[in-house]
Amino acid sequence: MDSITSNNLSFMHGYSDVNGIKMYYEIYGQGKPLVLIHGGGSTIQTNFGVIIPLLAKSRKLIAVELQAHGRTSDRNADLSFEQDADDVARFLKNININKADIFGFSNGGTTTLQIAIRHPEVVDHIIIGSALAKRNGVPEWFWGFMEEAKLENMPEQLKVGYKAVSSNTNGLQIMHDRDVKRMVNFKDIPDEQLRSITAPTLIIIGDKDVITPEHAIELHRQIANSELAIIPGGHGEYIGEITTLKPDFKEIDLVVPMIEKFLNK
Protein backbone atom coordinates (compact mmCIF):
# COMPACT_ATOMS: atom_id res chain seq x y z
CA MET A 1 0.00 0.00 0.00
CA ASP A 2 1.40 3.39 -1.03
CA SER A 3 0.72 6.90 0.21
CA ILE A 4 -0.04 9.71 -2.21
CA THR A 5 -1.21 13.33 -2.04
CA SER A 6 -3.73 14.71 -4.55
CA ASN A 7 -5.37 18.13 -4.33
CA ASN A 8 -3.81 18.53 -0.85
CA LEU A 9 -5.58 15.36 0.33
CA SER A 10 -3.31 12.50 1.42
CA PHE A 11 -4.51 8.93 0.98
CA MET A 12 -3.26 5.37 0.92
CA HIS A 13 -3.91 3.21 -2.11
CA GLY A 14 -3.18 -0.31 -3.24
CA TYR A 15 -4.52 -3.63 -4.49
CA SER A 16 -5.95 -6.59 -2.62
CA ASP A 17 -6.31 -10.17 -3.88
CA VAL A 18 -10.06 -10.81 -3.72
CA ASN A 19 -11.72 -13.97 -5.05
CA GLY A 20 -9.44 -14.15 -8.09
CA ILE A 21 -9.28 -10.44 -8.94
CA LYS A 22 -6.95 -7.64 -7.91
CA MET A 23 -9.22 -5.06 -6.27
CA TYR A 24 -8.03 -1.45 -6.23
CA TYR A 25 -8.80 0.65 -3.17
CA GLU A 26 -8.08 4.04 -1.61
CA ILE A 27 -8.16 4.98 2.10
CA TYR A 28 -8.64 8.57 3.28
CA GLY A 29 -8.87 10.15 6.72
CA GLN A 30 -9.23 8.65 10.18
CA GLY A 31 -12.09 7.51 12.34
CA LYS A 32 -14.88 4.99 11.96
CA PRO A 33 -14.72 3.18 8.58
CA LEU A 34 -17.13 4.23 5.80
CA VAL A 35 -16.90 2.14 2.63
CA LEU A 36 -17.75 3.85 -0.68
CA ILE A 37 -19.07 1.66 -3.53
CA HIS A 38 -19.39 3.26 -6.98
CA GLY A 39 -22.03 2.70 -9.66
CA GLY A 40 -21.94 1.10 -13.11
CA GLY A 41 -19.39 2.42 -15.59
CA SER A 42 -17.78 4.49 -12.87
CA THR A 43 -14.62 4.90 -10.82
CA ILE A 44 -14.00 6.12 -7.28
CA GLN A 45 -13.34 9.62 -8.61
CA THR A 46 -16.23 9.96 -11.07
CA ASN A 47 -18.78 9.07 -8.37
CA PHE A 48 -17.24 10.32 -5.15
CA GLY A 49 -14.47 12.78 -6.04
CA VAL A 50 -16.52 15.77 -4.85
CA ILE A 51 -17.61 14.37 -1.48
CA ILE A 52 -14.46 12.46 -0.45
CA PRO A 53 -12.66 15.57 0.93
CA LEU A 54 -15.77 16.49 2.93
CA LEU A 55 -16.48 13.05 4.41
CA ALA A 56 -12.77 12.40 5.11
CA LYS A 57 -12.73 15.20 7.69
CA SER A 58 -14.48 12.96 10.22
CA ARG A 59 -14.23 9.43 8.79
CA LYS A 60 -11.86 6.76 7.59
CA LEU A 61 -13.06 6.44 4.00
CA ILE A 62 -12.40 3.16 2.20
CA ALA A 63 -13.24 3.46 -1.50
CA VAL A 64 -13.07 0.44 -3.80
CA GLU A 65 -13.35 -0.25 -7.52
CA LEU A 66 -15.33 -3.36 -8.42
CA GLN A 67 -14.65 -6.07 -11.00
CA ALA A 68 -13.66 -4.67 -14.44
CA HIS A 69 -14.10 -1.08 -13.22
CA GLY A 70 -11.32 1.50 -13.03
CA ARG A 71 -8.09 -0.08 -11.85
CA THR A 72 -9.58 -3.41 -10.69
CA SER A 73 -8.98 -6.45 -12.89
CA ASP A 74 -11.68 -8.48 -14.63
CA ARG A 75 -12.45 -12.15 -14.11
CA ASN A 76 -13.71 -14.55 -16.74
CA ALA A 77 -17.29 -14.25 -15.50
CA ASP A 78 -20.30 -11.97 -15.90
CA LEU A 79 -20.85 -9.29 -13.29
CA SER A 80 -23.37 -9.93 -10.55
CA PHE A 81 -24.41 -7.87 -7.55
CA GLU A 82 -24.05 -10.96 -5.38
CA GLN A 83 -20.44 -11.49 -6.50
CA ASP A 84 -19.64 -7.80 -5.99
CA ALA A 85 -21.07 -8.08 -2.45
CA ASP A 86 -18.93 -11.16 -1.75
CA ASP A 87 -15.88 -9.34 -3.15
CA VAL A 88 -16.37 -6.33 -0.86
CA ALA A 89 -16.91 -8.57 2.19
CA ARG A 90 -13.73 -10.53 1.36
CA PHE A 91 -11.78 -7.30 0.82
CA LEU A 92 -12.84 -5.97 4.25
CA LYS A 93 -11.57 -9.19 5.83
CA ASN A 94 -8.28 -8.76 3.95
CA ILE A 95 -7.71 -5.33 5.48
CA ASN A 96 -8.92 -6.42 8.95
CA ILE A 97 -12.13 -4.39 9.04
CA ASN A 98 -14.68 -6.40 11.03
CA LYS A 99 -17.59 -3.97 10.68
CA ALA A 100 -18.17 -0.80 8.66
CA ASP A 101 -20.74 1.68 7.50
CA ILE A 102 -21.31 1.34 3.75
CA PHE A 103 -22.46 3.92 1.19
CA GLY A 104 -23.29 2.57 -2.25
CA PHE A 105 -24.42 4.72 -5.16
CA SER A 106 -26.57 3.43 -8.09
CA ASN A 107 -25.37 -0.11 -8.90
CA GLY A 108 -23.15 0.28 -5.84
CA GLY A 109 -26.33 0.76 -3.83
CA THR A 110 -27.72 -2.52 -5.15
CA THR A 111 -24.40 -4.15 -4.19
CA THR A 112 -24.76 -2.62 -0.71
CA LEU A 113 -28.22 -4.18 -0.36
CA GLN A 114 -26.66 -7.54 -1.25
CA ILE A 115 -23.89 -7.03 1.33
CA ALA A 116 -26.53 -6.37 4.00
CA ILE A 117 -28.43 -9.50 2.90
CA ARG A 118 -25.46 -11.87 2.39
CA HIS A 119 -22.94 -10.53 4.93
CA PRO A 120 -24.93 -8.77 7.67
CA GLU A 121 -22.11 -9.30 10.17
CA VAL A 122 -19.84 -6.79 8.38
CA VAL A 123 -22.48 -4.05 8.14
CA ASP A 124 -23.27 -1.28 10.61
CA HIS A 125 -25.20 1.56 8.91
CA ILE A 126 -25.91 1.46 5.17
CA ILE A 127 -26.68 4.31 2.78
CA ILE A 128 -28.46 3.32 -0.42
CA GLY A 129 -28.13 6.03 -3.07
CA SER A 130 -30.35 5.77 -6.17
CA ALA A 131 -30.33 1.96 -6.12
CA LEU A 132 -32.52 -0.56 -7.92
CA ALA A 133 -34.06 -3.54 -6.13
CA LYS A 134 -36.95 -4.33 -8.52
CA ARG A 135 -37.33 -4.03 -12.29
CA ASN A 136 -40.40 -1.83 -11.81
CA GLY A 137 -38.21 0.68 -9.92
CA VAL A 138 -37.33 2.48 -13.16
CA PRO A 139 -39.52 3.70 -16.04
CA GLU A 140 -40.24 1.13 -18.76
CA TRP A 141 -38.08 3.00 -21.30
CA PHE A 142 -34.99 2.18 -19.23
CA TRP A 143 -35.07 -1.50 -20.22
CA GLY A 144 -35.36 -0.74 -23.93
CA PHE A 145 -32.50 1.73 -23.57
CA MET A 146 -30.31 -0.95 -21.94
CA GLU A 147 -31.12 -3.47 -24.68
CA GLU A 148 -29.76 -0.99 -27.26
CA ALA A 149 -26.83 0.35 -25.21
CA LYS A 150 -23.59 1.01 -27.09
CA LEU A 151 -20.23 2.24 -25.85
CA GLU A 152 -20.39 5.38 -28.01
CA ASN A 153 -23.54 6.42 -26.11
CA MET A 154 -21.89 6.10 -22.70
CA PRO A 155 -21.53 9.53 -20.99
CA GLU A 156 -18.27 11.12 -22.10
CA GLN A 157 -17.29 12.04 -18.54
CA LEU A 158 -17.37 8.36 -17.54
CA LYS A 159 -15.27 7.31 -20.53
CA VAL A 160 -12.71 10.03 -19.75
CA GLY A 161 -12.80 9.01 -16.07
CA TYR A 162 -12.04 5.39 -16.91
CA LYS A 163 -9.21 6.24 -19.29
CA ALA A 164 -7.68 8.57 -16.70
CA VAL A 165 -7.02 5.67 -14.33
CA SER A 166 -6.73 2.56 -16.52
CA SER A 167 -4.17 1.72 -19.19
CA ASN A 168 -6.19 -1.31 -20.37
CA THR A 169 -7.13 -0.29 -23.93
CA ASN A 170 -9.93 -2.87 -24.22
CA GLY A 171 -11.06 -2.49 -20.62
CA LEU A 172 -13.60 0.25 -21.31
CA GLN A 173 -15.51 -1.95 -23.77
CA ILE A 174 -15.37 -4.92 -21.39
CA MET A 175 -16.67 -2.83 -18.48
CA HIS A 176 -19.45 -1.39 -20.63
CA ASP A 177 -20.56 -4.77 -21.98
CA ARG A 178 -20.48 -6.46 -18.56
CA ASP A 179 -22.50 -3.63 -16.99
CA VAL A 180 -25.09 -3.69 -19.79
CA LYS A 181 -25.50 -7.48 -19.65
CA ARG A 182 -26.00 -7.37 -15.89
CA MET A 183 -28.74 -4.76 -16.18
CA VAL A 184 -30.51 -6.45 -19.12
CA ASN A 185 -30.65 -9.65 -17.03
CA PHE A 186 -31.52 -7.89 -13.76
CA LYS A 187 -33.76 -9.94 -11.46
CA ASP A 188 -35.83 -8.53 -8.61
CA ILE A 189 -34.40 -8.90 -5.13
CA PRO A 190 -37.05 -11.02 -3.34
CA ASP A 191 -39.21 -9.23 -0.76
CA GLU A 192 -38.19 -11.59 2.02
CA GLN A 193 -34.51 -10.78 1.43
CA LEU A 194 -35.16 -7.03 1.57
CA ARG A 195 -37.22 -7.49 4.72
CA SER A 196 -34.34 -9.44 6.28
CA ILE A 197 -32.14 -6.30 6.33
CA THR A 198 -31.85 -5.09 9.92
CA ALA A 199 -29.07 -2.52 9.51
CA PRO A 200 -30.03 1.13 10.01
CA THR A 201 -30.57 2.31 6.43
CA LEU A 202 -30.73 5.70 4.73
CA ILE A 203 -32.33 5.60 1.27
CA ILE A 204 -31.60 8.61 -0.97
CA ILE A 205 -32.84 9.44 -4.47
CA GLY A 206 -33.22 12.59 -6.53
CA ASP A 207 -36.69 13.80 -7.45
CA LYS A 208 -35.59 13.67 -11.10
CA ASP A 209 -33.72 10.38 -10.67
CA VAL A 210 -33.96 7.37 -12.98
CA ILE A 211 -35.15 5.51 -9.86
CA THR A 212 -38.81 6.32 -9.23
CA PRO A 213 -40.04 7.84 -5.95
CA GLU A 214 -42.49 4.95 -5.70
CA HIS A 215 -39.62 2.46 -5.72
CA ALA A 216 -37.74 4.34 -3.00
CA ILE A 217 -40.90 4.43 -0.88
CA GLU A 218 -41.45 0.69 -1.38
CA LEU A 219 -37.84 0.01 -0.32
CA HIS A 220 -38.34 2.25 2.72
CA ARG A 221 -41.41 0.25 3.74
CA GLN A 222 -39.68 -3.11 3.29
CA ILE A 223 -36.53 -2.24 5.26
CA ALA A 224 -37.89 -1.77 8.75
CA ASN A 225 -35.07 0.34 10.20
CA SER A 226 -34.85 2.83 7.33
CA GLU A 227 -35.15 6.52 6.57
CA LEU A 228 -35.97 8.04 3.17
CA ALA A 229 -34.77 11.27 1.60
CA ILE A 230 -35.93 12.54 -1.81
CA ILE A 231 -33.62 15.39 -2.80
CA PRO A 232 -34.17 17.91 -5.64
CA GLY A 233 -32.06 16.94 -8.66
CA GLY A 234 -31.02 14.07 -10.89
CA HIS A 235 -29.20 10.75 -10.54
CA GLY A 236 -26.30 11.42 -8.15
CA GLU A 237 -26.56 15.20 -8.21
CA TYR A 238 -26.82 15.12 -4.41
CA ILE A 239 -23.22 13.77 -4.17
CA GLY A 240 -21.75 15.74 -7.09
CA GLU A 241 -21.49 12.69 -9.39
CA ILE A 242 -19.43 13.79 -12.38
CA THR A 243 -22.14 13.67 -15.08
CA THR A 244 -24.40 15.93 -12.98
CA LEU A 245 -21.91 18.67 -12.05
CA LYS A 246 -23.04 22.12 -13.18
CA PRO A 247 -20.97 25.32 -13.45
CA ASP A 248 -22.92 26.89 -10.57
CA PHE A 249 -22.46 23.85 -8.29
CA LYS A 250 -22.22 24.62 -4.56
CA GLU A 251 -21.25 22.35 -1.67
CA ILE A 252 -24.47 23.38 0.06
CA ASP A 253 -26.34 21.30 -2.58
CA LEU A 254 -24.75 18.08 -1.31
CA VAL A 255 -26.21 15.65 1.24
CA VAL A 256 -22.99 15.33 3.27
CA PRO A 257 -24.49 16.86 6.47
CA MET A 258 -27.48 14.50 6.19
CA ILE A 259 -25.15 11.50 5.76
CA GLU A 260 -23.02 12.53 8.74
CA LYS A 261 -26.11 13.06 10.93
CA PHE A 262 -27.46 9.62 9.97
CA LEU A 263 -24.14 7.84 10.56
CA ASN A 264 -23.69 9.45 13.97
CA LYS A 265 -27.01 8.19 15.34
Model confidence pLDDT, tens digit, residues 203-245: 999 999 999 999 999 999 999 999 999 999 999 999 999 999 9
Give pLDDT tens digits for 126-185.
999 999 999 999 999 999 999 999 999 999 999 999 999 998 889 999 999 999 999 999
> In the chain, what are the domains?
2-263 (3.40.50.1820)
Q: Which residues contact 232 (CB under 8 A, 6 or more apart)?
A: 206, 207, 208
Q: Tell me the Cα Rg of the chain.
A: 17
Q: Is 205 left (phi over 0), alpha (psi -120 to 50) or beta?
A: beta
* C-beta separation of 36 from 65 below 8 A: no
* C-beta separation of 39 from 105 below 8 A: yes
| Beta-strand relationship, 201-206 and 123-129 | parallel
pTM of the model: 0.97
- Average pLDDT in the 71-92 region? 98
Of residues 141, 69, 72, 153, the one with CA closest to residue 107:
69
- Ramachandran angles phi, psi of 16, nearest 5°: -130, 140
Among residues of the chain, what percentage have pLDDT more than 70? 98
